[in-house]
Chains A and B, each alone.
Chain A
Amino acid sequence: MFIEDIRNDFYNVVLGNRVLLLVHYDVDAICACKILQDLFKCDNISYTLVPVGGISELKSAYDENNEEIKYVVLVNCGGTIDLVDILQPEEDVVFFVLDSHKPTDICNVYSDGQVRLIYKDDEENIPNFDDIFRDEEEEEEEEQEGREALEAVIERRRTRKAWEERRHTLMFNYTQFSYYGKPSSCVVLELAVRVSRVDAGVLWGAAVGGSAQAALAVRPPARRLLDMEPLQRHVAAASRGDDQRYAQVVVDKDLNLPLYRWWSVESALRHAPLIAPLLKLHTASGNARVRQLLADMGFPLQQARQAYRSMDVELRRSLLSSLEGVAPRHQLPPPAHTALLLRRAHAPPVPALDAVYAIMALIEHESIPREEGFQLALASLQVCGENDSLKQGIAAAKKSLEAVARMSQSTLASRGLMLAGPFNYFIVQEGATESLSLRGPLWLGEAARWAARAGGSRRPLLASSPLSDGRCLLLGIPPRFDQEPRNLFGAAFEQAAAKSGASVSLDYVDTSVVSLPIAQRAQFLDALTALLA
């Protein structure tokens, strides 16, 4: 069931009880969790926080921690599966689900109080209860004699069959695409507003969570605008008054180049996911195109190659306007966007976009285990004081972006982007230098989007990278993901898995990501081609 009022029906219910917080490994979830933690801390709600990476981890984390716990809060996980069926909880345990993964499982929606969904999205077309569930008992009406009875039975069977068909189509339409809803961190921001505890930390968490969906292109641009509107309102409200605060979140026009403040302009351009693929750096003329762009902007190479912070002040000021001026001439998208920045006293501003990449790099770091990366990512969201985790994250993000760029360029240059009927795919070979950086779904997805933008074709794209112990990760991105990110691969993978008989693990919360043994990958792709053709 959906809760009506986030404060009375959620926050006031858990107030004073122990809470188990299960948080998925993604940027939005970590931001939402950070805000929730701050709220819980002020109200002395004792909690246990366990990061979970998939459905099996969710189950084991629940089994280990369920003693004496009556309230479980799930952030960005659990909404798309039937929680009661999978976790087998006691009668009096209540699950609060805050999940931006859609579609929500129908059993969670119509649960009578045990599973409570915190946010109701208007865009979800949830089928009506009567169309999906039907009392079996009404079938067993009293037996009647004679011809009339027979007719009645046949009539009943006919209506039942019609109902079943209708249910099937409804469910098919409801579950055929997997997509993302409003960012969880923005929902938690609403909660913080309701309990009047909005400060720079809360706003920053929501800003980073909201920007993550823009950076990962998982939400249509129009929806994104609507999601960010309340956030910008609260940012404006908070920035009114004194300017002497230590940390402040501001809305500003900024370049859509990740990490350019910590890099050189040339490197930032070469690694920007929105611009670099269109410069076609994998071709022979790619480098010339970058130099032409810099020359048109009026940036000497020497300046463009040194750290942004040491660049000529005049050039630094004119970077935004000059890049904006030359972008149309090079057929590039407008490079500026409305950005949220964290301004602190005596420190360079941090754009939310950079924090997104830093957190992505921390939770899918090539050497740091995921659990430790999660702790670092939480620490990197703090707004005041020296933030070593953020620096570490930014350094790691540069390396990962470089790996993404190298990987997708070498794939395109060596014609590694294969065409298989209805879709394209590429495979990161085991032992490639980039394979360690790309073994997580976030960065592999980044590489896939890069290749799709650079390849320029309007087909869906699959990407695969090796995991440990002979398995590999496979993910799919839809065609035109920039505009319409609804993903058809969730349902397709499920059916292809059933048809090909490969031992595919559908453990990821995002259904468009699966893992399977490398040996069975070709067989699975064949099944998928047959299915989608």
Chain B
Amino acid sequence: MFGEKVIELIKEAERNRGTLDQFNDETIRQIIEEMHVLFKLNMNDANSTTENKSLWTTVQVRHSALERNKRCLLAYLYNRMNKIKTLRWEFGSVLPPDVRELLSDGEYDWFSKYSTNLATYMRSLGEDIGYHGIDLTENLRPPKSLYIEVLCVSDHGKFELEDGDVIMLKKNTRHFLPASECQTLIRKGILQQIV
């Protein structure tokens, strides 16, 4: 039966909607082989039987199967491409190695290009108002407040904010700072957010 493999492929992708699977090289190779076979058979039949119209139906069925395979393959790839796009927003420009393994070479090329494009775009943003780009991936949802209250839990020394202010991070002092600037220091364990 034509097109069985491709349905398997689509079903497999359908089963894990949220996550990205290993790129299914083997099945895709088999599908493309099947398509080559169908195409050759069609070519033979079409060339030999220009007069004989009885084979036309067969050719038509094979052609539909071919087109269906193509459409399903494209759907599979497109679906993966969308998932890879969200990876860029979630993980940033460098993928963790275990995620990297799931991508085919072609997909990885696409990912790098997408990444570069996005970076170029983000750098170009806000040039007219004097900013050197805006990191669009920083707040995917609007933050609850721009400033957060933090307690300094270890002596860190001076820390320069983006607007040029210098603050002294010393143990047991409290600060009310822009949330974006504190994130890294909170992760490092120098600051602690007070809720």
Contacts and interface: CB of A to CB of B under 8 A. Distances in A.
29 contacts: A18-B165, A37-B176, A41-B147, A41-B176, A45-B176, A46-B175, A46-B176, A46-B177, A46-B178, A47-B174, A47-B176, A48-B167, A48-B175, A49-B173, A49-B174, A49-B175, A49-B176, A50-B173, A50-B174, A51-B172, A64-B168, A65-B167, A67-B165, A68-B165, A371-B171, A371-B172, A372-B172, A378-B174, A379-B194
Q: A interface, how many residues as a size bin? A: 20 to 34
Interface in A284-331: none
A48 B147 contact: no
B156 to A, nearest CB: 12
A44 interface: yes
A374 interface: yes
B180 to A, nearest CB: 12
Interface in A48-107: 48-51, 64-65, 67-68
B166 interface: yes
B147 A46 contact: yes
A374 B165 CA distance: 26
Contact of A64 (B145, B146, B170, B175): B170
Interface residues of B, number: 21
B103 interface: no
A508 interface: no
A51 B166 CA distance: 19
A24 B176 CA distance: 19
B164 interface: yes
B194 to A, nearest CB: 8
A62 to B, nearest CB: 11
B149 interface: yes
The 3 A-B residue pairs whose C-beta atoms are closest, nearest first, are A371-B172, A49-B174, A67-B166
A45 B168 CA distance: 17
Interface in B144-195: 145-147, 149, 151, 158, 164-168, 170-178, 194
Given A41-B147, A41-B149, A375-B151, A48 B173 contact: yes
A374 B164 CA distance: 29
A374 B172 CA distance: 9
A11 interface: no
Given A37-B149, A48-B174, 7 more contacts: A41-B149, A44-B147, A46-B147, A46-B175, A50-B173, A67-B158, A374-B172
B172 A375 contact: yes
A378 B158 CA distance: 25
A40 interface: yes
Contacts of B164: 68
A116 B145 CA distance: 31
A18 B166 CA distance: 10
Contacts of A374: 172
Contacts of A375: 151, 172, 174
B175 A47 contact: yes
A48 B174 CA distance: 6
A48 B152 CA distance: 10
Contacts of A45: 176
Contacts of B147: 41, 44, 46
Given A68-B164, A68-B165, A40 B172 contact: no
A440 B171 CA distance: 21
Interface string A366-390: 0000011011001100000000000
Interface in A1-47: 18, 37, 40-41, 44-47
A44 B177 CA distance: 9
Contacts of B170: 50, 64
A40 B176 CA distance: 9
Nearest to A68: B165
Contacts of A65: 167-168, 173
A44 B143 CA distance: 14
A371 B168 CA distance: 16
Nearest to B166: A67
A37 B151 CA distance: 13
Contacts of A46: 147, 175-178
A47 B174 CA distance: 8
A469 B165 CA distance: 39
Contacts of A372: 172
Nearest to B181: A46
Contacts of B165: 18, 67-68
Contacts of B166: 67-68
A47 B177 CA distance: 7
Nearest to A66: B168
B31 to A, nearest CB: 58
Nearest to B148: A41
Central interface residue in B176, B178, B194, by most chain A CB within 10 Å: B176
Contacts of A49: 173-176
B169 to A, nearest CB: 9
Interface string A491-518: 0000000000000000000000000000
B98 to A, nearest CB: 40
Interface in A347-383: 371-372, 374-375, 378-379
Contacts of A40: 176
Contacts of A41: 147, 149, 176
Contacts of B194: 379
B157 to A, nearest CB: 10
A47 B194 CA distance: 14
B143 to A, nearest CB: 12
A348 to B, nearest CB: 24
B178 to A, nearest CB: 7
A68 B162 CA distance: 13
